[in-house]
Amino acid sequence: MHHLPPLPEKEFRSYAPGYWSSKNVSASDWNSATWQLKNRITTLAQLEEHLALTEEERAGVLLSGNKLAMAITPHYFNLIDPEDPNCPIRRQVVPRIEESWEDPDEMSDPCGEDSHMPVPGLVHRYPDRVLFLVTDRCASYCRYCTRSRVVSGVGEQELHTEFEAAFRYLERHTEVRDVLLSGGDALLFSDAKLDAILTRLRSIKHIEFVRIGSRVPIFVPQRITPELCKMLQKHHPLWLSIHTNHPRELTTEVRDALALLANHGVPLGNQSVLLRGVNDNAEVMKSLVHKLLMCRVRPYYLYQCDLIQGSSHLRTSVADGIDIIEQLRGHTTGYAVPQFVIDAPGGGGKVPLNPDYVLVRDEQRVVIRNYEGKTFEYPEPALVRR
């Protein structure tokens, strides 16, 4: 049984092979994305081989096939502290009975994507950009998944993306300049299949840039190969948004995978979800954003957890998120401070939330405060006063 260091963690570490040290796994297997995906923890028996589950976890695993499948890659599983039921990694991927709790405020589609889907698999909610849901599978399944209704193959809906219809829609809609590939996780596709999708998108002249949203570099960094990066490099400007919530997720393997992407000219951003018992703490968040910058990843968004069904045990208050931003802004470099947002329930889009730095605003002046609480007055120009 391996022991993990105390929190918060700012050093980069490798946890391999961890639980798999007794299984004589070869280095070539361990470093193969195919092996990682084939050897995911997907059953109660596999989970109990490695962890002493709580009653809440065991009941949650037994129910997980009803809503969102369980799957955890060996690489990511090694980050779990076996002695801590409240381990921040464990809380993200091990099901709990609380997922079955009913809350009248929760929704199956909290971001209103289905109502903004002109073509199956293509969400056009903002004027100049679209979300392209290219698959319903992920390397591992986050228990707070916004799309748990469609991902993993056991949700209440099935994703039936019509690729040709989506491409034709994009060709007709010249206002679209930005396409985000998500799902599911597009980096689970083979290099050839992903190359074909990107090539088709790149043939549409008014599409200026393409983004991929992926947790693959975190769950299975072995997937980030020189061959993949060379293929992505052909399609610039192409950006990658990764999803990390806790500093422990940034291992040496993840750092090296991100370096490979960055060295091939892929700009990297990070999106985190504010989660109770995971990162609802300013010191943990500061360690995370500092490690991200060391990986050449810009902290981009910190999301208030969506009102997804079965997520009440993981949601924090909005005040917690604002407080974390307050403890980052001015106390560390601005590059490290993400924008805290709520994806407005029902399809209202992302709404930014910030601490109150403007105290008074009228035609004569603006009174502001800084991170230390000191106040300053900025006079409005005379033209505005008239």
User: Residues at the annotated binding site?
Assistant: 138, 142, 145
The residue written with tokens 């703490």 in the block is: 281
Asked whether the beta carbons of 185 and 135 are under 8 A apart, the reply is: yes
Residue type, 18: G
User: Which sequence positions are flagged as catalytic?
Assistant: 125-126, 129, 138, 142, 145, 147, 306, 343, 350
∠ CA 64-65-68 to the nearest 5 degrees? 65
**What are the binding residues for [4Fe-4S] cluster?**
138, 142, 145
